[in-house]
Amino acid sequence: MKEFVEPSTDITAAALKGEHEGNARFGVWGVSASGDAVHGDSVSGQGVMGTSQTSVGIGGQSSSGVGVSGESATNFGVLGKCAGGNSGVHGLSDTGHGVFGQSRTNHAVHGESGQGRGVVGVSQTFFGVSGLSTSGVGVSGESTTGVGVFAKGGRLAGQFQGHVEVTGNIVVSGDIQLANADCAEDFTVAGSVLAEPGTVMVLNDEGELQASVQPYDRRVAGVVSGAGAYQPGLVLDRHDSARLRQPIALLGKVFCKVDAQSNPIAVGDLLTTSPTPGHAMATNDPVRSFGAVIGKALRPLAGGRGVIPILITLQ
């Protein structure tokens, strides 16, 4: 059995608390091959607190586990402050999380900086900074005069899966690329049933939309977006409403219901409303077509009824 050795007299109570006045020493230093290097639990305060002027407040190294783990029921799991030119909390990991924080009521990881970045995450193959939340905000960044969240990437600076809401302005210095086809706008639809995508729609006396029912109708407004392989790339005037609303393609490519029973449709033909409800047809009367043109056919239809792509050019 190894003989117990009394601690030397130069280890003071302050050193045991994690304070050291040396310029190149750690306040608290832990090394672990498989478990937690430094582990602290607290119900209301800090689990582990380390203060350093020039070096690392808390340093944890682990080959397969967690370098530094902090849990708190009401406060910060891990809190790091640095007055010098280093990091408040700095975590390195070969296989796991560099810094991992869990909190029930406060910030899992919180970083503040007067001149630099509050939180910096570096990763070769995974996420530099990852935030998970079941009901709150996964990652939050705030700045009074600078940038709340800054992202820089070789292929993409940021990637979002799901809806994105912006309450301020969006400033773009490059191109805006939309994967889908047409530019649409939401309109209120008359009645209690939505029209099928591809239906030709006209205005009624109340300014609502309904399916077209007569040829060369100058009240034509557009085509219900979303049929076939073309989905709306941009939808204007979308908001919650007690009335039925649908996106109507006003510009771009859209699949449209057409009727070629009387006149075959060729590529480039101008299209207008037809007697068949919600269907377009090729124009053959230039005078009646003025103001009633929906668009140009992008594919032919020799006869019958069908759905073809058209280029919306209301005129």
Residues of the chain with pLDDT under 70: 1-39, 42-72, 76-90, 96, 103, 107-108, 113-118, 123-124, 126
Residue where a domain stops, chosen among 112, 137, 155: 155
From residue 153, how far is each of 24, 161, 167 by CA, in Å? 34, 17, 24
Residues 98 and 217 in one domain: no
d(CA 8, CA 213): 97
Residues 143 and 245 in one domain: no
CA angle 190, 193, 199 (to 5 degrees): 80
Residue 78's nearest CA partner among 87, 66, 69 is: 69
pTM of the prediction? 0.62
Please give the pLDDT value at position 309. 97
Kindly state the tokens that stand for 237. 């005037």
In a domain, 90, yes or no: yes
Residues 149 and 208 in one domain: no
Residue where a domain stops, chosen among 155, 170, 203: 155
In the numeric block, the tokens 């799991």 are attached to 77
Please give the pLDDT value at position 256. 97
d(CA 28, CA 57): 7
Residues 193 and 129 in one domain: no
In a domain, 171, yes or no: no
Residues 91 and 145 in one domain: yes
**Pairing mode of beta strands 68-72, 38-42:** parallel
Residues 150 and 186 in one domain: no
Residues 204 and 115 in one domain: no
Please give the pLDDT value at position 149. 83
Q: Are 271 and 280 within 8 A, CB to CB?
A: yes
d(CA 225, CA 253): 9
In a domain, 83, yes or no: yes
d(CA 211, CA 197): 11
Tally of structural domains, the chain? 2
> What residue numbers bound the domain in which 78 lies?
1-155
Residues 121 and 243 in one domain: no
In a domain, 169, yes or no: no
Residue where a domain stops, chosen among 155, 174, 198: 155
In a domain, 167, yes or no: no
In a domain, 110, yes or no: yes
| CATH assignment of the domain containing 263 | 2.40.300.10
Residues 293 and 209 in one domain: yes
Write out the E strands in 199-244. Answer: 200-203, 209-211, 220-224, 232-236
**Pairing mode of beta strands 58-62, 79-82:** unpaired
- Give the DSSP letter of residue 220: E
Q: Are 106 and 72 within 8 A, CB to CB?
A: yes
Kindly state the tokens that stand for 101. 């924080």
Please give the pLDDT value at position 5. 47
Residues 207 and 150 in one domain: no
In a domain, 68, yes or no: yes
In a domain, 170, yes or no: no
Residues 146 and 194 in one domain: no
Residues 196 and 139 in one domain: no
